[in-house]
Structure 1
């Protein structure tokens, strides 16, 4: 059995056993190669566990940080809300008030609230600019110029990658400060976290490489060559684990899917958002930004989803991993199993990160862990 490191409160002993079991081969599910779990309850650390390998022959540590894919959206949304409160942003005002070019293509009425709730109708990039498909300003300019498009039967459509450029550019226009400065001063330092927009911002020893799990996990390689053949962020190959391991991915700002974090960092950020001596936002604001803004058939994912202001909410198609949580938590999952969320009613903050990429969708190994955590509360 894999050696599990870290600590846990006695009330969560079952969680430690389940975490260790997730590394054991099973015919029913993929098993972990490297992973970590962090749980806070009412601001107190209850579980802080890690095990396995971060890279070939290199043990996972408390600070190991894989790409957490769309968990990045939850951190971007949190940062946006902090800055919005500082600057007195009206969420029902048009995005074009701060980003005039965004009015292109007849989008002058789209509001900040709609943009955050995946209701802007910009789920894909109509005309990819030439050159680096991940380049910040060309992608922002192309999205600003194109018209919105959303089927009338869907209340929203998941802005899987475009969310990062759209909300990130609006954040930059409002704040007038660099992305790294905003992340450091508004989130990482106050929360005691070490979230990174880009893998290249971390020390090489902190990065956990990703595995492409087929019959067995194998280290994903060749991503820079694949990325060189990709012309648009809409190419599905862009979310391959090999690409996320590449220098090109790790060196770009991909605020919808490119963040790197330890489980401890994710949990600390959500714990700081919902409580503590100096919460990142007042409780009333947290209730507002975590309130449901739309539920129904997702035009992009083709399952039922539900969104708050930049966060996922539990729905039939996107459960956030737990069957026992009802509709209380908010946060964001990553494509292959990482997750960060908060449940203010339970005082719960949860961070789970993994380097095994065993298929996208709502099939994360963290689900049984989160269910068991609710039973331990």
Structure 2
């Protein structure tokens, strides 16, 4: 209308005033989390930093110029990236960490739940702040893209095959499928299950939705998350077996550029057992986990260890940076990069033909819009689809130990190879001694607040004997069981005493305690169905 002033831009005085007019999230309660955004290029008149309180349950937002001690999550980023993070679409929020000019410190995992709260916008606060910033139109883009193509690609024959796979799983493992069906539609939109006993597949099925309008089947390619870390362990184990590599030597022996800044004595074994001196919240790749390769390499190799962290060993779980560094040892020793090495020496012999260490641009063009999305649940809300690890940049960049995708039947093949002492259908991957060494207890006497205790060379080990709170996989798994989990979405393990492999993916992320309860319940049902308990 004539004479109407344009809406004030993001972070202007008027925008902050609009934020102050909103009902603030309750302080001091578990469902309210706070992050600080520190701007590298604040516009004139804008505060250099912004504190954002997010009510995960009701979706209320509190925004104010930063003051006082920083909260548990700090993100340093340009003005445009801050705008995308708070007011953009799910794809734009994920894209913030693909840029290469963002830094994050603290509890990175909070971002998944913040993302879901912003997407849902249960209070309407995001819409109000978008309007105050002059943003109009829908934030959502492409959520159901590919649905028609999926229906065409799957067809009646594919749908029939998927349904038959579910019925076979139900016949073999009725209690297990029943437990998964309890979760589908509540804590997760979809699930994939693989179970084999003595190398014979008993269940290989998908249930529910991979993403809005796209079914999850046994052929879907879910994100393995940290369940992919043992692939790099196996690769390094092969080099160790060949005498070309020693995990007890400093990493700088193989990567001289890694030395300095307090890292001189860090060994591969420190990184594989998550006992390096760098705190989890200080991971240098937090802000660029899916960013350009050169920037990630610069940060991973050049990170400085804080003086106060150079103490007695403790558990410092590394989500990204340690595995990025460890993967650089492969070309330094063998000459091949991580992806071709794993494809040629592990995936090929194991028959894991459908697994992608990371997607190629051609893969993404062919089926990127049908990949399972990670959905996130906050208290009292349905799972919200997010785009973490699902954009073209994130899926096609190599993020060792995180962004591998494949059907869980392939993950089962990898675990079966280990159960068979390194022997695979396409030839021996490693010796029985190496397989045993990878899954032996290399970290003992240490634990963290998430119930992680003893650890192998990149493998989580069953630790129920240390106390119920240290149950890794289930209440019936033997102490010799090993595997990994994927941040509150997945678990995969092998039990040598039972000859059993189990892999479960739930594409609905929930908080730690809730996820632990559902995964243990599903794993226990497998043992009860098979009368192994």
After TM superposition, is the score higher than 0.5? yes
**Secondary structure of 1:93's partner?**
coil
Q: Is the 8 A contact 2:290 2:394 kept in 1?
A: no
| CA distance, structure 1, for counterparts of residue 405 and residue 446 of structure 2 | 30
- Say whether the 8 Å CA contact 1:71–1:332 is kept in structure 2: yes
The RMSD of aligned alpha carbons is: 3.2
Give the aligned partner of residue 254 of structure 2.
98
Residues 277 and 311, structure 2, Cα contact 8 Å, conserved in 1: no
> How far apart, CA to CA, are the structure 2 residues paired with 1:35 and 1:302?
23
1:249 aligns with 2:394: yes
The reply to whether residue 208 of structure 1 matches residue 353 of structure 2 is no
Q: Secondary structure at the match of 1:363?
A: helix
Q: Quick one: structure 1 residues 146 and 60, their matched pair in 2 at CA, closer, same or farther if it must change by over 3 Å?
A: closer
1:107 aligned to 2:263?
Answer: yes
How far off is 1:174 after superposition? 2.1
Higher Cα Rg: structure 1 or 2? Answer: 2
Q: Which residue of 1 aligns with 2:328?
A: 169
TM-score by length of 2: 0.59
User: Aligned residue for 1:370?
Assistant: 523
Matched residue, 1:229: none
Does the 8 A contact of 2:244 with 2:333 survive in 1?
no
Contact persistence 1:7–1:48 (CA under 8 A): yes
Who is 1:283 aligned against?
432
Change in CA separation of 1:111 and 1:327 when aligned onto 2, cut-off 3 Å: same
CA shift for structure 1 position 267? 0.8
Matched, 1:56 2:201: no
CA contact (8 A) 2:187 2:383 kept: no
For the Cα contact (< 8 Å) 2:205–2:217, is it kept in 1? Answer: no
In structure 1, the residue matched to 2:491 is 339
Change (3 A) 1:342 1:21: closer
Name the structure 1 match of 2:356: 196
SS at structure 2 position matched to 1:74: helix
Q: Is the 8 A contact 1:337 1:365 kept in 2?
A: no
Number of equivalenced pairs? 351
Kept in 2, the 8 Å contact 1:294–1:306? The answer is yes
- Aligned residue in 1 for 2:45: none
| Residue of structure 2 aligned with 1:306, choices 454, 457, 461 | 454
Shifted more, 71-80 versus 192-201: the winner is 192-201
Structure 1: which 5+ runs fail to align? 222-241
The equivalent position to 1:269 in structure 2, one of 407, 414, 421, is 414
Taking the aligned partners of 1:54 and 1:130, their CA distance within structure 2 comes to 27
**3-state DSSP of counterpart to 1:106:** coil
Shift of 1:309: 0.6
CA distance in 2, matches of 1:22, 1:128: 34
Cα 1:175/1:5, change in 2 over 3 Å: farther
TM-score, with structure 1 as normaliser: 0.81
Alpha-carbon displacement from aligned partner over 1:141-168 (angstroms, at most 9, x marks no partner) = 3333334454746533111222321221
Name 2:303's counterpart in structure 1: 146
